Structures are given as C-alpha cells and as structure tokens.
Structure 1
Amino acid sequence: MKKTLIQVMGFLISTTGWFFVCCTLAMNYWRFTYIGGQGGYWVIKAAWYWTTLWRDCYTDTTAVDNCREYDVLWVINPRNTAERGYIQTVRGLVLFGMALGFFAAIFCFIGMDCTYIGGSERTNDIILLTGALFHFIGGVADVAGYCLFTIRLGRAAFARMSSRGVLRYQIGPPIYLGFVGSFCIILGSILYVVTVYRILVPKRKVDASMPRKPMTAKSYVPLAKSKTLYTEDHTASIHSDLSRPLSKLSGHESRVSHITEISDRDDFV
C-alpha cells in the first residue's frame, strides 16, 4: 500500500510538471518591457514589447498586437544569427524534454503496481525505473533550456545598461512556471526511484539450509586450553590408578587375566 501510494504521488506530480512545461510553450511574455505612459497623449505613448519562442510582438494601449514571426535560423546578419541560434537551442531542449516525458509517462503508467499491466513485480519495477530515468533526463533538459534563456537575457541586460535607446527586457511568467514544472518532474522521478531502489541495490542472499548456532561465552573454549584440560584429567586418572592399594586392584587384574585366557583359548580354537 505504501509503495503504491508513493507511485501515485509521483505520477501526479510529474504529470503536473509536464502540464506546466507544455503551457509555457503556448504562453506569451517570455520576456517583456514597458515604455511610455509619461507625458503627451498616454493612450498612444504607452507600449509593451514582448517575445516568445516563436515571435516578437509590440502592443500599445489600444490593445492591438503587432507581431513578427521569427525567420529562418541562419540569416546574413551575424547579430541576428546569434540571437536566433540561442532561441533555437532553447526550443530544442524544451521539445526534447517533452518528447522524453511522453514516453516516460507511458512507461511509468505501465510499470505502476496499481495498473496490473506490466506483468510480474520485477518486470514492473524495471519498466518503472526506465520511465523514471526518462522523466529525470527530460526534466534536466527543460531546466537547461530555461536557464539558457534566463542567462542570455540577463547577460544582454547587463551588457546594455550603459547604452541608451536599447530595450532591456525582464523575465516573464512562463520562465518561472517552467522552472516550477521542471522541478516537479524531477521530484516525481525521484519518488518513482524510491519505490524500486531494490533493483539498484539488491538484498543479500542468506543460505537458510545452514542454521547458525549463536556462540556464547561459555561454549567457547580455546583449543590449547581444551588440550591442557584433557591432558591434566588423563594424567590425574593414571596417578589415581597407580596410587590405589593392591587389594583394590586385584579384582581388576583378575578380570583382565580372565579376559586374556578366553582370548588365548579362542585363538587356539
């Protein structure tokens, strides 16, 4: 029951994370800036510049959006080439993570104990471990994509602090939502691995056919000491026999002689 509950929690958390990541691809305002609103006719002067992974847009206070789709990756202007290059890298990382997340969700759904699809318990654990690995790699790829976008944005903002007339963008809500979703994905993969860690660290096999008797302090006698005790007892018995009087030994000698006579007679026969 505890294992199944952890797997269900991991499935819900990782699925929520992938939902957040998918939402960021369709959201606007990955980066934005605000200009105007002071002096003059403010209805026309105020404007917002914002971008996504797919286009640059301009919105004024009349609520009219003017957008320009990103052109091809390689263009003649080197500056535009660097700009489009990092955008394409962010796209590739996020989409690569989503592709892995699709297969990871399928594997984890099949390998969970509550679905009864995978087969035996070991087969389910192996499938679930594969899905958890895909979840983890996909989450790391998404984090790398969002970090690359943030680092590029911050570097451009600090490099243009001294330049006048240059737009300095801020980080938009999709980036924060993407970070939250990526960490949810990684957390879900960790919960999956917790339930199947026995595959990575198997139990030691103990041979039950050979019972082990616990050794106590009384039963342990060193070999040298046992030999000494045996020798002393044997020597003491010999000395006690020699110290007996002849009257007490006569019966013993008669029995020995009687046995000797019978054995000689048997040999003669």
Structure 2
Amino acid sequence: MRKRLIQIFGFLISSLGWLFVLCTMAMDYWRITQLGGQGGSFIIKVSWYWSNLWKDCVTDSTAVTNCREFPVLWSVTPFVQGVQGLLICGLMLGFFGVVLCFVGMECTYIGGADKTKDKLLLVGAVFHCAGGVSDISGYCLYINRIARTSFAERAGPRTLRYDLGPPIFLGMVGCFFILLGAVLYAVTVCRVICPESKVVNADEGGTYISPRSSKRTPYTRYYRPPRKYGSYTGSGRSSSSKTSKLSQTTLMKISEGDAFV
C-alpha cells in the first residue's frame, strides 16, 4: 500500500513538473527591461522590451506592442537555439518517461509481472532524470547569457540590461518536481538495484546464503556443520599428533579388554 501511494505521488508531482516546463515554452517575458520613466512634470514615456524563445517585442506606455518574430531557426541567436533544443529534447525524454512510469506503476493492470513492471518503472525514472537535467541545462544557459550581459562592466551605452522573467523561475521549479518524482520512483524499486540476500536454515547451525551477483553460481554458499559431537582442541603440539595419540590409547584399551575376555 505504501509503495502504491509513493508511486502515485511521484507520478503526480513529475507530471506537474513537466506541465510547468511545457507552459514556459509558450510564455512571454523570459527577459524584460524598462527604458524611460523619468520626465519630471512632463509626460512620462516608458517602453518595455521583452523577449521569449520565439520573438522580441517592445511595449510603450500606450499599451501598443510591436513584435519581431524569429523567421527561421538558423536566423536565431545561437544561445536561443541551444535553449530551444535542450528544452524540446527534455520534453521528448519526459514523454517517454511518463509513459513508462504509468505502465510500470503497481496500481495499473498493464505491463506484465511485478519484476517487469519494476524494471519499466526504473527505466522511466532514468528518462525523467535525463529530461530534467536537459531542461535545467537549457534554463541555466539562458540565465548565464542574461547575467553576462547585465553584469558586464564594459557594456556599451545602448546595450539593454535585461532581468529574468517569471518563466525562468517556473521552469526551475518544474525541473525540481521532475527530479523529485524520479527519486520517488527509484525508491520504490530499489530492490531491483540492490537485491537483498535470503538466509535459509539448512540444518541445525547450518545456513545457506543466496548469491547477490550474477557472477556467482547458484551453488555458491557457506555451510557451517552442526556442533553435535563437540571438538578436541589442545595447545602446544599440533592437533593431528594429539588425535593420533588419542586413537592409539583407545586401541590399547580395546585390545586389553579382548585379552581379558
């Protein structure tokens, strides 16, 4: 029951994370800056310059917006191309991860046996991790570009210093949800990664330990014989000499008894 609840919670939170990332692809104001706003008693003129992954726009104080859409992919700034590629690649990996995790969950009636479902869930968690890392790389690349332009000391007077917009923070939160869901998936199938050894009592005092790795054969075991008849230990000379003397004295006693009879 606990395994099912953890898997359901991981599925919900990872799906919510992918929804956040998908929404950021279509949102505006990835970066924004403001010009003007200081006019004393005269009419204050303000212009907002903002951009997303698909267009550059400017909005004036009269709420009129003029945009320049990117015509073709190879005409876009290289770092924007990189961000688009990383995000789209992450979304594709996330799609396969969601499907595999849905099939591999314990509460679904598709996917085969329990071991097969656990393997599918583990592969889906790997897809989630790869997609989340790809999306984080895209957001970090965009943040790095904005930070280098905003904090540059030798920037020209006409260089616009942009600020980060809401889609960046929403996307980072979505990536955190994706990685958290992948960790929850992996926790529920940790037995597939690290199988536990089974100890079965063979006889009194004897134990059988199943092999952990596939390199060992099924006959690899450790057997400790039962202590029914005790053992003879001594000090000084070796135990073989002690045993031979003990056998000699026993034979002498047997021979004397036969002679008396």
Determine which structure has the larger helix proportion and give its number: 1
For 2:203, the equivalent position in structure 1 comes to: 211
Shift of 1:172: 0.8
Aligned to 2:49: 49
Question: CA RMSD for the aligned pairs?
Answer: 2.7
Distance in 1 separating the partners of 2:94 and 2:15: 9
* Percent of pairs with identical residues: 47
Partner in structure 1 of residue 173 of structure 2: 180
Contact 1:20/1:177 (CA < 8 Å) preserved in 2?
yes
Question: Which structure 2 residues correspond to residues 61-210 of structure 1 after superposition, within 5 A?
Answer: 61-75=61-75, 84-159=77-152, 162-204=155-197, 208=200, 210=202
Is 1:54–1:70's contact at 8 Å kept on the other side of the alignment? yes
Name the SS of the counterpart of 1:59 in structure 2.
strand
Q: Which moved more, 1:134-143 or 1:193-202?
A: 193-202
- CA offsets per residue over residues 181-203 of structure 1, 9 Å max, x none? 01110111111111112222223
Tell me the secondary structure at the aligned position of residue 107 of structure 2: coil
Structure 1 distance, partners of 2:96, 2:176, is: 18
Q: Could you tell me which amino acid in structure 2 is paired with residue 89 of structure 1? A: G
In the other structure, the counterpart of 1:221 is 232
TM-score by length of 1: 0.77
The aligned counterpart of 1:230 is 246
2:25 corresponding residue in structure 1: 25
Deviation (angstroms), 1:73: 3.8
CA distance in 1, matches of 2:204, 2:134: 52
Does structure 1 retain, via aligned residues, the 8 Å contact 2:149–2:155? no
The whole-number CA distance in structure 1 between the counterparts of 2:64 and 2:241 is 103
CA distance in 1, matches of 2:231, 2:22: 70
Select the structure of larger CA radius of gyration: 1
Q: Kindly provide the amino acid, as one letter, of the partner of residue 205 in structure 2.
A: K
Q: Secondary structure of the residue that 2:62 maps to in structure 1?
A: coil
Q: 1:224 to 1:139 in 2, by over 3 A?
A: same
- Aligned partner of 1:256 in structure 2 is none
